[in-house]
Amino acid sequence: MEFLAAGVGAGLLNYNRKNFMFDKEQYRERAYFSQEMKVSKYELYREDIKDLMDLTVSKMDVYMVINVLQLLFCVMLFTEGMPKPRTTPLWLHWILAASSGSAVLYFVLSIWLGMHASIAAHSFGVRLLTQFVRLPVPNLQQIHTAAAKAKDYEALSLTDMLRIPVLQQQFRKLTATLGNLSFENRAEDTTGLDDSFLPEVYVPSLEETAALRPCTETGARFVASRSFDWMFFVSRHIQLYRELQANWQAWVLFALVY
């Protein structure tokens, strides 16, 4: 009888230890996969910032090329396009000189403002990428937390070490059925670790989304309802870009006006 009890105990210890190591391995893979997904998410954020920054930089580059060509045309008017002094009246010379000089001044201002807007957009975009939207690389503590250690099995209670397989789960299911309770079939975590180091999923509230969207009657009714469209939610990196956009948006508008 003693040998039978010892054999059953050894079998339970071996089974629960294998189950513990299997849970540890699944937990480690889930943790590393979550970290990879989090890094991929922030890579998409960085690509969004670069795309938004390139909109201003590329647009200003096109405007500067066009303004340089127009400035060249004005210079050609001063040199080769001026009318002959004896064939045209003097007042026409003054009108042409004043209009051409004003055009040169406006084109130079537009080129300067466009260049300043392009440099400012690129500079603030680099600042946003280097100071705010960084890749969330896990530290050594997070890596060690997700690592599997066989000695952690020894820290479990004796009840978990000698847990009878199948019987406890079926007993809980039977108890829930007899008690007319809902039974949720969830895998029991025997790793002894929590999910605190895993990437957090931020779900905005209806009030936060209503503050980000335009305050219209149709939009208010839509936000108040439960049929919520997540595409209208503005991410944090987009909000930061919009805040920094005020540093060069005026220069872009002035360059367009000139």
- For the chain, the 3-state helix, strand and coil shares in percent, each to the nearest 5, are 70, 0, 30
pLDDT at residue 53 tops 80: yes
pLDDT tens by residue, 185-232: 444 544 444 554 444 444 444 454 444 444 444 444 434 444 444 444
Domain that holds residue 220: 2-257
Q: Please indicate, yes or no, whether the overall pTM of this predicted structure exceeds 0.75.
A: no
pLDDT tens by residue, 158-174: 777 777 776 666 777 77
How many of the other CB atoms lie within 10 Å of CB of 33? 11
State how far the Cα of 257 lies from the Cα of 189, in Å rounded to an integer. Answer: 64
Check residue 234 and give its pLDDT: 56
Number of domains in the chain: 1
Beta carbons of 49 and 125 less than 8 angstroms apart: yes
Higher pLDDT, 133 or 191: 133
pLDDT at residue 32 tops 80: yes
Tokens at 60, concatenated: 């200003």
pLDDT tens by residue, 57-71: 888 888 889 889 989
Task: Kindly state the average pLDDT of the residues 143-157.
Answer: 75
What lies within 8 Å, CB to CB, of 145 at 6+ separation is 31, 193, 197
pLDDT tens by residue, 104-120: 888 898 888 888 888 88
Could you give the count of Cα atoms lying within 13 Å of 224 in the half-sphere of its Cβ? Answer: 7
First to last CA, the chain: 99
Check residue 69 and give its pLDDT: 92
What lies within 8 Å, CB to CB, of 16 at 6+ separation is 153, 160, 161, 162, 163, 190
Average pLDDT, the chain: 73
